[in-house]
Structure 1
Amino acid sequence: MAKATKKQALGRGLSALLKDPSNDIQSAQDKNADKVVGNIVELELDRIEVNPFQPRTKFNEESLRELASSIKELGVIQPITVRKIAFNKYQLVSGERRFRASSLVGLKTIPAYIRIANDQESLEMALVENIQRQDLDPIEIALSYQRLIDEINLTQEQMSERVGKKRSTIANYLRLLKLDPIIQTGMRDGFISMGHGRAIINIEDHIAQLEIYEKILTSKLSVRQTEQLVKNYHQNKEVTVPKTPETPKYIKKGVKEISEYFGHKIHVKLGKNGSGKITIPFHSEEDFNRIKKLVQREK
């Protein structure tokens, strides 16, 4: 949640920058252009016009309403892309369905990537640099790969050369975008891992995907258990959770006591013959140092 708040604050700050006439960015060489290219900016919908050369002229109303409902519940997961055409005026490059659905639910702003004129090379460089960052979640990486395909017209082979990743790795990330938007959001928020997502994507039906996603959260299923759950579904067309060994009472009691001591809910993974592993999460450097002091106090 803190990560999302930071991104929103950054987007609002860039929006203010773009509204300043003294910072009217026209090319990638202009002052502050590097702060815009490759970043998400919150733009006002009434400052964006649709592309008159958009080849798609018909939009399925029911599908658009479903997307609008999803956006109302979860927000816009994938930012649109616009092209700057004048001071504080933009034209859609991609994402018209998201733009229309956002208008339907009454949003005033929408997250957007801004292209400066036709500086395609700068855009490609910004996207590739963005992919190399260490703090991106799997969906953010997948969206960056998709943008390189949609906007730069790169093939998976060309992307493999640009970003130094195997083609199979790129394909695995791109497949994540076939997951239901709710599951994509869960992955971005860290509720499930990429391994969970790769298992779920083997089911095309989104309703079944969501059933499995719910089982993962409620039963705290591992990736291997999720893979077995998907296998069971393909065999029986039913979502049946694999049986897990019952947690011993001494562990249940101990987990509660240790969690209260450290101020976080700890996780215990049981192994064979009574062995296991305890994981203590932390949320910041300060939090880590606090936990370290508690551990040292017990020495």
Structure 2
Amino acid sequence: MTVRKGGLGRGLDAMISETAVNPKSAAAKKPAIRTVNTSKKDTEEKKELEGSALMVKMTQIEPNQSQPRKQFDEDALLELSESIKQFGVLQPLLVQKKGDYYEIIAGERRWRASKLAGVKEVPVIVKDFTEQETVEISLIENIQRENLNPIEEAAAYKRLMDEFHLKQDAIAERVSKSRTAVTNSMRLLKLDERVQQMLVDEMLTTGHARALLPIENKEEQYAAAVKVFDEKLNVRETEKLVKMLLNPTDPKPEKEKNTAEDLAYEHLEEKIKSIIGSKVAIRRKNHDKGKIEIEYYSQEELERIVELLESVK
């Protein structure tokens, strides 16, 4: 269950040659940047260009329509474009040859900012990747820069599973996240589309979104999400709202005392919930005894929790 720190999976360095990404390496201290003539299309030229640092016209570069990231912060792009006007594009884009143009694998934000800056040519690194590697690199780069919103990240994981048949363990390994984090991320795709958009628009946090998952009725789920936003409920208050909506006949709980001990147990509940990905309650008894209750809302959810517990044997 230990999550590695200090890098994301194999990272880009492991998937791209060192000379392509490490300007401090001996071979890359003074890369030979050439202007490419895209009229030559033979195989020998493609092999020669692969891994080289090139200057390519902006008009010969196109974004990857299948990349995970769909939204770009306009203010951040304008800020980057001002930097590019002053200093140029400091890090080459990673691209692959596609017929008579180059498709961006990593660096679309730099490309968009360069367009805003009026740049005519940008430095690129040309590599040849499989479709799966292209998706993985785009995903890793965006996660490293924290550029993906929660729904884009979840959709990218799902694509790796559906199209390339990767298991969640394999995906977690590639992006250096726990399997639980990947699982919890993908669960967000079960939300009503309107609730997903509220998450994208930062009207809700991922904690709020996960708390709303037990509400299976889409209209009720959306109504609850709107209530959470309008009343500025925190995650714990959202969980209580969901519990009340699912069990309207339950008696109202007594007012919490919020003693230091209560707060300590609440912290432990939150810690366990972040690991398991489901609502957890610690029922205290006398003499430091008690029990831990884990809620589940479907057979699939139960099987997921069992599988998770078995993985930590």
TM-score past 0.5 threshold: no
Instruction: Specify the TM-score bucket, using the shorter chain as the normaliser.
Output: 0.3 to 0.5
Q: What is the TM-score with the length of structure 2 in the denominator?
A: 0.41
Which structure has more relative contact order (CA 8 Å, sep 6+)? It is 2
